[in-house]
Structure 1
Amino acid sequence: MRAPCLVLLALVLAGCPKQVDRVAGSEDSRIDDTTAQLEELRLKTESESLSCLDRCAAARQTCELTEELCKLVESQPDRTDLPPRCVQAREQCAQANAGCTRCRNG
Protein backbone atom coordinates (compact mmCIF):
# COMPACT_ATOMS: atom_id res chain seq x y z
CA MET A 1 0.00 0.00 0.00
CA ARG A 2 2.90 2.35 0.69
CA ALA A 3 4.50 1.99 -2.74
CA PRO A 4 1.47 3.26 -4.72
CA CYS A 5 1.13 6.21 -2.33
CA LEU A 6 4.80 7.09 -2.76
CA VAL A 7 4.51 6.86 -6.54
CA LEU A 8 1.43 9.09 -6.50
CA LEU A 9 3.17 11.59 -4.22
CA ALA A 10 6.21 11.65 -6.50
CA LEU A 11 4.02 12.29 -9.55
CA VAL A 12 2.16 15.09 -7.81
CA LEU A 13 5.36 16.77 -6.67
CA ALA A 14 7.01 16.38 -10.07
CA GLY A 15 4.01 17.96 -11.73
CA CYS A 16 4.01 21.06 -9.54
CA PRO A 17 6.09 23.79 -11.14
CA LYS A 18 8.03 25.84 -8.69
CA GLN A 19 9.30 29.34 -9.15
CA VAL A 20 12.95 29.36 -8.25
CA ASP A 21 14.87 32.58 -7.97
CA ARG A 22 18.34 32.55 -9.42
CA VAL A 23 21.05 32.45 -6.87
CA ALA A 24 24.76 33.07 -7.25
CA GLY A 25 25.48 29.35 -7.09
CA SER A 26 23.37 28.63 -10.13
CA GLU A 27 24.96 31.52 -12.04
CA ASP A 28 28.39 30.18 -11.09
CA SER A 29 27.34 26.77 -12.33
CA ARG A 30 26.16 28.19 -15.66
CA ILE A 31 29.40 30.15 -16.03
CA ASP A 32 31.44 27.03 -15.28
CA ASP A 33 29.39 24.93 -17.71
CA THR A 34 29.76 27.50 -20.48
CA THR A 35 33.50 27.81 -19.82
CA ALA A 36 33.84 24.02 -20.02
CA GLN A 37 31.94 23.95 -23.34
CA LEU A 38 34.23 26.66 -24.68
CA GLU A 39 37.27 24.61 -23.67
CA GLU A 40 35.89 21.57 -25.51
CA LEU A 41 35.36 23.70 -28.61
CA ARG A 42 38.87 25.17 -28.33
CA LEU A 43 40.34 21.68 -28.35
CA LYS A 44 38.10 20.70 -31.25
CA THR A 45 39.07 23.70 -33.39
CA GLU A 46 42.76 22.99 -32.79
CA SER A 47 42.40 19.65 -34.55
CA GLU A 48 44.06 19.65 -37.95
CA SER A 49 41.69 16.97 -39.22
CA LEU A 50 38.59 19.11 -38.78
CA SER A 51 36.76 19.80 -42.04
CA CYS A 52 36.21 23.40 -43.07
CA LEU A 53 32.47 23.06 -42.55
CA ASP A 54 32.97 21.65 -39.04
CA ARG A 55 35.61 24.27 -38.23
CA CYS A 56 33.23 27.09 -39.17
CA ALA A 57 30.34 25.48 -37.26
CA ALA A 58 32.57 25.21 -34.18
CA ALA A 59 33.56 28.87 -34.60
CA ARG A 60 29.89 29.88 -34.74
CA GLN A 61 29.17 27.83 -31.62
CA THR A 62 32.19 29.33 -29.87
CA CYS A 63 30.99 32.85 -30.51
CA GLU A 64 27.44 32.05 -29.39
CA LEU A 65 28.76 30.58 -26.14
CA THR A 66 31.04 33.58 -25.74
CA GLU A 67 28.07 35.94 -25.85
CA GLU A 68 26.19 33.77 -23.37
CA LEU A 69 29.18 33.74 -21.02
CA CYS A 70 29.72 37.48 -21.26
CA LYS A 71 26.05 38.16 -20.47
CA LEU A 72 26.37 35.99 -17.38
CA VAL A 73 29.54 37.82 -16.38
CA GLU A 74 27.89 41.22 -16.92
CA SER A 75 25.01 40.18 -14.67
CA GLN A 76 27.47 40.00 -11.78
CA PRO A 77 29.32 43.34 -11.87
CA ASP A 78 30.58 42.94 -8.31
CA ARG A 79 32.64 39.87 -9.27
CA THR A 80 36.08 41.07 -10.38
CA ASP A 81 37.22 37.50 -11.02
CA LEU A 82 34.79 37.00 -13.92
CA PRO A 83 35.59 39.67 -16.56
CA PRO A 84 38.85 37.93 -17.58
CA ARG A 85 36.78 34.88 -18.55
CA CYS A 86 34.76 37.03 -20.92
CA VAL A 87 37.91 38.56 -22.41
CA GLN A 88 39.44 35.11 -22.90
CA ALA A 89 36.23 33.83 -24.52
CA ARG A 90 36.14 36.81 -26.91
CA GLU A 91 39.73 36.06 -27.91
CA GLN A 92 38.78 32.43 -28.47
CA CYS A 93 35.87 33.53 -30.66
CA ALA A 94 38.18 35.72 -32.74
CA GLN A 95 40.70 32.90 -33.14
CA ALA A 96 37.99 30.42 -34.11
CA ASN A 97 36.62 32.86 -36.69
CA ALA A 98 40.13 33.40 -38.07
CA GLY A 99 40.55 29.64 -38.40
CA CYS A 100 37.27 29.42 -40.29
CA THR A 101 38.29 32.27 -42.60
CA ARG A 102 41.70 30.70 -43.31
CA CYS A 103 39.98 27.42 -44.09
CA ARG A 104 37.52 29.03 -46.49
CA ASN A 105 40.24 31.04 -48.25
CA GLY A 106 42.48 28.02 -48.59
Structure 2
Amino acid sequence: MSELAEQHCEACRKGAPKVTGDEKELLCGKIPDWRLVDAQSEERLKKVFKFKNFAQAQAFANQVGNLAEAENHHPAILLEYGKVTVSWWTHAIGGLHRNDFIMAAKTDALLAVPE
Protein backbone atom coordinates (compact mmCIF):
# COMPACT_ATOMS: atom_id res chain seq x y z
CA MET A 1 0.00 0.00 0.00
CA SER A 2 1.33 3.44 -0.85
CA GLU A 3 2.14 6.09 1.74
CA LEU A 4 -0.78 8.18 0.44
CA ALA A 5 -3.21 5.28 0.92
CA GLU A 6 -2.21 5.06 4.58
CA GLN A 7 -3.20 8.69 5.25
CA HIS A 8 -6.65 10.01 6.13
CA CYS A 9 -8.60 12.95 4.79
CA GLU A 10 -8.65 16.13 6.80
CA ALA A 11 -11.78 18.20 7.17
CA CYS A 12 -11.93 20.57 4.22
CA ARG A 13 -14.10 23.68 4.05
CA LYS A 14 -14.78 26.31 1.45
CA GLY A 15 -11.70 28.47 1.12
CA ALA A 16 -9.24 25.66 1.86
CA PRO A 17 -6.24 25.90 -0.45
CA LYS A 18 -6.11 23.87 -3.62
CA VAL A 19 -2.90 21.95 -4.25
CA THR A 20 -0.18 24.04 -5.86
CA GLY A 21 1.35 23.14 -9.20
CA ASP A 22 4.43 21.66 -7.50
CA GLU A 23 2.32 19.66 -5.02
CA LYS A 24 0.13 18.39 -7.84
CA GLU A 25 3.15 17.21 -9.84
CA LEU A 26 4.59 15.38 -6.82
CA LEU A 27 1.26 13.80 -5.85
CA CYS A 28 0.42 12.75 -9.43
CA GLY A 29 3.67 10.81 -9.44
CA LYS A 30 2.32 8.72 -6.57
CA ILE A 31 -0.88 7.79 -8.45
CA PRO A 32 0.43 7.38 -12.01
CA ASP A 33 -2.64 5.71 -13.53
CA TRP A 34 -4.96 8.61 -12.67
CA ARG A 35 -5.60 11.38 -15.19
CA LEU A 36 -6.09 15.07 -14.49
CA VAL A 37 -9.26 16.23 -16.25
CA ASP A 38 -11.24 19.43 -16.41
CA ALA A 39 -14.98 18.99 -15.86
CA GLN A 40 -17.35 21.91 -15.43
CA SER A 41 -14.35 24.23 -14.93
CA GLU A 42 -13.06 22.12 -12.03
CA GLU A 43 -9.91 20.04 -12.10
CA ARG A 44 -10.49 16.42 -11.10
CA LEU A 45 -8.67 13.11 -10.83
CA LYS A 46 -10.23 10.38 -12.96
CA LYS A 47 -9.58 6.69 -13.53
CA VAL A 48 -11.44 3.88 -15.30
CA PHE A 49 -11.32 0.44 -13.65
CA LYS A 50 -12.17 -2.58 -15.83
CA PHE A 51 -13.76 -5.84 -14.69
CA LYS A 52 -14.96 -9.08 -16.28
CA ASN A 53 -18.65 -8.42 -15.69
CA PHE A 54 -21.26 -6.16 -14.13
CA ALA A 55 -21.29 -7.96 -10.77
CA GLN A 56 -17.55 -7.40 -10.25
CA ALA A 57 -17.85 -3.77 -11.29
CA GLN A 58 -20.80 -3.25 -8.96
CA ALA A 59 -18.94 -4.85 -6.04
CA PHE A 60 -16.00 -2.49 -6.62
CA ALA A 61 -18.29 0.55 -6.90
CA ASN A 62 -19.79 -0.45 -3.55
CA GLN A 63 -16.31 -0.71 -2.02
CA VAL A 64 -15.49 2.79 -3.26
CA GLY A 65 -18.77 4.05 -1.78
CA ASN A 66 -17.98 2.46 1.58
CA LEU A 67 -14.50 3.98 1.52
CA ALA A 68 -15.97 7.40 0.72
CA GLU A 69 -18.37 7.15 3.66
CA ALA A 70 -15.58 6.07 6.02
CA GLU A 71 -13.41 9.07 5.03
CA ASN A 72 -16.35 11.49 4.59
CA HIS A 73 -15.09 12.43 1.13
CA HIS A 74 -17.25 11.47 -1.83
CA PRO A 75 -16.44 10.95 -5.53
CA ALA A 76 -18.46 10.69 -8.69
CA ILE A 77 -18.84 7.00 -9.52
CA LEU A 78 -20.10 5.79 -12.90
CA LEU A 79 -20.99 2.09 -12.96
CA GLU A 80 -21.27 0.34 -16.32
CA TYR A 81 -21.02 -3.25 -17.52
CA GLY A 82 -17.48 -4.31 -16.68
CA LYS A 83 -16.32 -0.79 -15.91
CA VAL A 84 -16.30 1.73 -13.06
CA THR A 85 -15.16 5.33 -13.58
CA VAL A 86 -14.16 7.16 -10.41
CA SER A 87 -13.58 10.93 -10.23
CA TRP A 88 -12.21 12.65 -7.13
CA TRP A 89 -12.22 16.39 -6.45
CA THR A 90 -13.14 18.58 -3.53
CA HIS A 91 -16.56 20.09 -4.10
CA ALA A 92 -16.12 22.78 -1.43
CA ILE A 93 -13.14 24.35 -3.21
CA GLY A 94 -14.05 23.48 -6.79
CA GLY A 95 -10.83 21.65 -7.50
CA LEU A 96 -8.11 19.44 -6.11
CA HIS A 97 -7.02 19.15 -2.49
CA ARG A 98 -4.51 16.70 -1.02
CA ASN A 99 -7.53 14.66 0.14
CA ASP A 100 -8.33 13.79 -3.47
CA PHE A 101 -4.91 12.26 -4.03
CA ILE A 102 -5.21 10.31 -0.76
CA MET A 103 -8.58 8.95 -1.87
CA ALA A 104 -7.27 8.05 -5.34
CA ALA A 105 -4.49 6.02 -3.69
CA LYS A 106 -7.00 4.40 -1.33
CA THR A 107 -9.21 3.55 -4.30
CA ASP A 108 -6.29 1.80 -6.01
CA ALA A 109 -5.53 -0.06 -2.78
CA LEU A 110 -9.03 -1.58 -2.78
CA LEU A 111 -8.00 -3.82 -5.66
CA ALA A 112 -5.09 -5.19 -3.62
CA VAL A 113 -7.43 -6.27 -0.79
CA PRO A 114 -9.17 -9.64 -1.18
CA GLU A 115 -12.96 -9.41 -0.86
Structure 1 length normalisation: TM-score?
0.30
Relative contact order (C-alpha < 8 Å, sep 6+): which is higher?
2
**Structure in which a larger fraction of residues adopt helix:** 1
**Structure in which a larger fraction of residues adopt strand:** 2
